[in-house]
Amino acid sequence: MYKTGDHVICKSGGVWKVLESSAGKMTLALHESGEEKKLRLSDDDEIVRNIANKEDILEAISRIPFIRTIQAPNDKIRRELYEEAMSKFDEAEWIKVIKSTHLRGESGRLAQYETEYAQKAKNFLHGEISAIMGIPVSEVEDYISSAIYRDKC
């Protein structure tokens, strides 16, 4: 299913590159850090999917201004909505979590658990954009900002 050289999203976090896939085992390297881990192919649920293609990522970035935030009447429901969004392993859902936590932080209403969800969403989204666009993760926020600005002009 996954070939050597593919970049994949793993449930445990982040974007990983498939270094080797043979004899019922797979070796992965974490994007940018190179940290390695080995999986048995029977651990099928650890790898969620291949990363998106460039066209899909560019479309997701262009939609950022239009993606709605998560609205909830209380922390319990908000946490459930964040968890549901993260479990979809989808760019638009990660953006929704990032935007929601950013706006709540600006208003001074950000809870500790929200910071953790925001970081997790950024790790997935920024790692995916970094791998696809060939830029360092540290430059992804600037890349997104300039892409949104260009779309507005």
pLDDT of 35: 95
pLDDT of 42: 77
Q: What average pLDDT does the segment 18-31 reach?
A: 92
**In which band, very low, low, confident or very high, does the pLDDT at 1 lie, cut at 50, 70 and 90?**
confident
**HSE of 78 in the Cβ direction (CA atoms, 13 Å)?**
20
What pTM did the predictor assign? 0.93
State yes or no: pLDDT of 151 exceeds 90.
no
CA-to-CA distance for 26 and 28, rounded, in angstroms? 6
CA-to-CA distance for 119 and 121, rounded, in angstroms? 5
Residue closest to 82 by CA, chosen among 111, 49, 114: 114
- pLDDT tens digits for range 91-137: 999 999 999 999 999 999 999 999 999 999 999 999 999 999 999 99
CA-to-CA distance for 76 and 81, rounded, in angstroms? 9
CA-to-CA distance for 67 and 70, rounded, in angstroms? 10
State yes or no: pLDDT of 28 exceeds 90.
yes
pLDDT of 152: 74
pLDDT of 44: 67
CA-to-CA distance for 37 and 150, rounded, in angstroms? 39
CA-to-CA distance for 110 and 104, rounded, in angstroms? 5
CA-to-CA distance for 112 and 135, rounded, in angstroms? 30
- pLDDT tens digits for range 47-90: 999 999 999 999 999 999 999 999 999 999 999 999 999 999 99
pLDDT of 90: 97
CA-to-CA distance for 153 and 140, rounded, in angstroms? 20
pLDDT of 149: 86
